[in-house]
Amino acid sequence: MISFKNVNLIYDNDVQALNNINFRINKGEFVFLVGTSGSGKSSLIKTILKEIDCTSGDINVNSQSIKELKNKDIPYFRRRLGVIFQDFRLLNEKTVYENVATAMRVVEADENNIKKRVPIVLEKVGLKNKLNCYPRELSGGEQQRVAIARAIVNDPLLILADEPTGNLDPETTLEILKILNEVNKSGTTILMATHDKEVVNNMRKRVISMKNGKIIHDNIEGGYKL
Ligand code: ADP
Ligand code: MG
C-alpha cells in the first residue's frame, strides 16, 4: 500500500525533516506514527499526499511511484486518499450534510448517489441526527466525526490522519479511535500521526517512532517508545 525507500526531505532552510526513511505498510494495516513535535511526522504525511516532493528516494502508494505522477494526475491520485487533520478543516458555512456531500461532488458522483450515501456514512460516525447542523453547532468530537465521514465517503484505499485527536479530551479521543478502528476493520489502511502515548499504548497496533527525521523503532504490536 505504501512504501518508502531511502527517502530524504531537506527544506529550503536546510532542515532535514526526513532522514533516510524506509518502511512498508500493507493493505489493511493500522499504523501509528509517533514522535515529539518537530520529529517529521507531518512532513512524512505531506510527502505521501505529494503536497511536498521529497529531495531523494522513492515513495510508492498503491503501486504508483509518486515521483512519476504528473501534475494533472495529482487530483485523481488524491481522490483515493482520505485525510483528517487536528483542526478538522470543515466548511463552516455549510451543513454537516453539505460538508460530506461536497467531497462526493468533487469526484463527480451523481446527486442520487450522494443523497443515498451521505446519510449512511453519517450514521456510521454516529451523526445521523446532525445532518442539518452547522460545524459551529457541534462539539469538537462531533466536528472530527464529520471530518471522518468526509474522509471515508469516497471509499479511500488509505486514510492519513495528522494528530486527529490533538484538540480533543481523552474521552472524545477514545470515541474517535473507536470509529477509526471500525473503518480499519472494513479494510481501509490507516496511518495516524499522534503524540498521545495513552492512545498508542491502549490500541496495540503497529507503531513507527520518529526522532529528528529518522525512524528509531518500528514495533508490530504497539507501545510508545522514544
Ligand atoms: P512534526 O509533525 O513531527 O511536529 P514536522 O514534519 O512538522 O514535524 O517538522 C519537522 C521539521 O521540519 C521541523 O524541524 C520543522 O521546523 C521543519 N519544517 C516543517 N515544515 C517546514 C517548512 N515548510 N519549511 C521549513 N522547515 C519546515
Ligand atoms: Mg505535525
What CATH number did the domain enclosing 18 receive?
Answer: 3.40.50.300
Separation of 101 CA from ligand 1 center, angstroms? Answer: 33
Q: 222 is in which domain, residue-wise? A: 1-80+156-226
Q: Which of 154, 174, 197 is the last residue in one of the domains?
A: 154
Nearest atom, ligand 1, residue 52 CA: 23
Q: What is the pLDDT of residues 20-45, one digit of tens each?
A: 999 999 999 999 999 999 999 999 99
Nearest atom, ligand 1, residue 210 CA: 3
Evaluate whether residue 85 is within a structural domain: no
Q: Which of 13, 43, 160, 162 to mutate to test the pocket of ligand 1 (most atoms within 8 A of CB)?
A: 43
Q: pLDDT at position 219, please?
A: 84
Q: Is the pLDDT of residue 58 over 80?
A: yes
Evaluate whether residue 122 is within a structural domain: yes
Evaluate whether residue 108 is within a structural domain: yes
Q: Is the pLDDT of residue 221 over 90?
A: no
Place of cell 490533538: 166
Q: Do 213 and 161 fall into the same domain?
A: yes
Q: Is the pTM of this model over 0.85?
A: yes
Output the CA–CA distances (angstroms, integers) from residue 155 to 81, 83, 132, in the order listed: 9, 12, 23
Alpha helices in the chain, H assignment, sequence order: 41-48, 74-79, 96-106, 111-124, 140-152, 170-185, 197-203
Q: Do 206 and 217 fall into the same domain?
A: yes
Evaluate whether residue 116 is within a structural domain: yes
- Ligand 1 pocket, CB under 6 A: 11, 13, 15, 17, 35, 37-43
Computed over every residue of the chain, the mean pLDDT equals: 95
Q: pLDDT at position 202, please?
A: 86
Q: pLDDT at position 93, please?
A: 98
